[in-house]
Amino acid sequence: NRNAAYDVALNYCGEVDCDIKVWEVDQCAALAVGENGVFGWGLDNFSDMAMDRAMFECSSRAANCSLIAYTCN
């Protein structure tokens, strides 16, 4: 269930200030991070589109963005 997944994700993080930013169901999600901890995320039915969106969102606010994770559910 969603609550259990939320708890597992926060426990996996291991930090005190973790937060869930994206919840995806039957989609792909991607996360890109740039300088100074700026991030961007993307959701789409296709992994390449989710990754493109994450990079666009990050790059519009920071330099040197890199895609660090993606998943499809």
Q: 17 in the Ramachandran plot: left (φ > 0), alpha (ψ -120 to 50) or beta?
A: alpha
CA–CA gap between residue 63 and residue 49 (Å, rounded): 20
pLDDT tens column, 9-45: 888 888 888 888 777 789 999 999 999 999 999 999 9
pLDDT tens column, 36-70: 999 999 999 999 999 999 999 999 999 999 999 99
CA–CA gap between residue 54 and residue 21 (Å, rounded): 13
CA–CA gap between residue 29 and residue 26 (Å, rounded): 10
Within 8 A by CB and 6+ apart from 62, the residues are 34, 35, 36, 38
> What confidence tier does 6 reach under pLDDT thresholds 50, 70, 90?
confident
